[in-house]
Structure 1
Amino acid sequence: MAWIDTINERDADGSLKDQYAKLKDSRSGVDNILKIHSLNPESLDAHV
């Protein structure tokens, strides 16, 4: 159970869904450490 709220891949929409799709294409999936950015998709975009 995560202590930090995240948005699951199946619940993502908009730009977050697009970013998750890119991560899944380039990796085997979306790592939990990257999911912490899910509440602020701009920070995920800047991180990767």
Structure 2
Amino acid sequence: MASYYLLLQTYVLRLEAIMNSILLFFCGSELLLEVLTPAAFSSMDRI
């Protein structure tokens, strides 16, 4: 939905573009943490 507001909407305010960029950054960092967390817990089981 954020990419629609950023790329496909006809009229986008600069504030909306900034807020959607921040939203996409946090969604990307959440995805990265979702991948790294199981890897961290699985490495703790081996110790």
TM-score range, shorter chain: 0.3 to 0.5
TM-score (norm 2): 0.36
**Which structure has the higher relative contact order (CA within 8 Å, separation 6+)?**
1
TM-score (norm 1): 0.36
Tell me which protein shows more helix as a share of its residues: 2
